[in-house]
Structure 1
């Protein structure tokens, strides 16, 4: 476990930070990921952790976090603090994270699993403990909610409009 830790830590933390946009939550989930991995390695002598395996564990920890958030959502009132990046890309990312944070935890989870993690609908359904049909319907509602929640801004033509990539989810 120690052999993979130094290489895997930045990858696991980065994976979680990009998906939850809250450093504190990403740090907590990173810790939970490595603790769960250590428990597995202690119980199973055959277990050989790798970075992709740890990211899979992190995905499950994040899904667990989203399920817990469904029971106790936290309101979001302002844009998150910027992370070092190119300004336009960073602005798009901030607006997307801000918009996702304003959605219900269920909508946030399904959109992140499908479009950030690029998982097929069937795998999203498995992570969310739903049927494929229910997940497809949830995706439709979540995309509609994302478009409705995306902040209105002035476009480069001076006309009011959606910011970023035209408001697409």
Structure 2
């Protein structure tokens, strides 16, 4: 199989997961689409080397998070966030899971990008502290402290999620 076909097959199999992770990182659909697109363009340029390395999933995951960090570092101080638009279906009966997802999305959006990345990697991607550190290019100690600070911030911005946060801190 040639490189282009191999890359297309890889993207087809993983685009949904990459898009969900990008959305959790950015908090916006358009920004998530842009993040995935820019990341995949950069990965495509080096696809042969990525495949030869034997871990394309890890490489693409790392590239996605590094691109996210690069994008918010370059925008720091220039971007002004607006309040969330009002809910469209005001009279709709929301289930508990839907409400929890909305609260979680809003809470993640209120975290600093680095804290959001640690939370997404540890609890959505279910990576170990070592894998998270490797992906973010930092020490395991940094992952531990960033996770601690991010969970503390979540307790403040979304007290209704405290039981989820406490469940995640139970030692294994």
Give yes or no for TM over 0.5.
yes
**How far apart, in 1, do the equivalents of 2:32 and 2:116 lie?**
15
**3-state secondary structure, aligned to 2:83:** coil
Equivalenced residues, count: 151
**How far apart, in 1, do the equivalents of 2:33 and 2:45 lie?**
19
Structure 2 unaligned spans of 5+:
89-93
Q: 1:130 and 1:80, CA in 2 relative to 1: closer, same or farther beyond 3 A?
A: farther
**How far apart, in 2, do the equivalents of 1:66 and 1:25 lie?**
13
Map 1:106-121 onto structure 2 (within 5 A). Answer: 106-121=114-129
Question: Could you say which residue in structure 1 is the equivalent of 2:43?
Answer: 37
Question: Could you say which residue in structure 1 is the equivalent of 2:100?
Answer: 92
Q: CA deviation at 1:115?
A: 1.1
Higher helix share: 2
Q: CA deviation at 1:17?
A: 2.6
**How far apart, in 2, do the equivalents of 1:76 and 1:108 lie?**
19
Alignment root-mean-square deviation, CA: 3.3
Map 1:71-150 onto structure 2 (within 5 A). Answer: 72=76, 74=79, 75=81, 77-78=83-84, 87-150=95-158
Q: CA deviation at 1:146?
A: 0.9
Relative contact order (C-alpha < 8 Å, sep 6+): which is higher?
2
Contact persistence 1:125–1:131 (CA under 8 A)? yes
**How far apart, in 1, do the equivalents of 2:119 and 2:39 lie?**
22
Contact persistence 2:61–2:135 (CA under 8 A)? no
- TM superposition score normalised by structure 2: 0.68
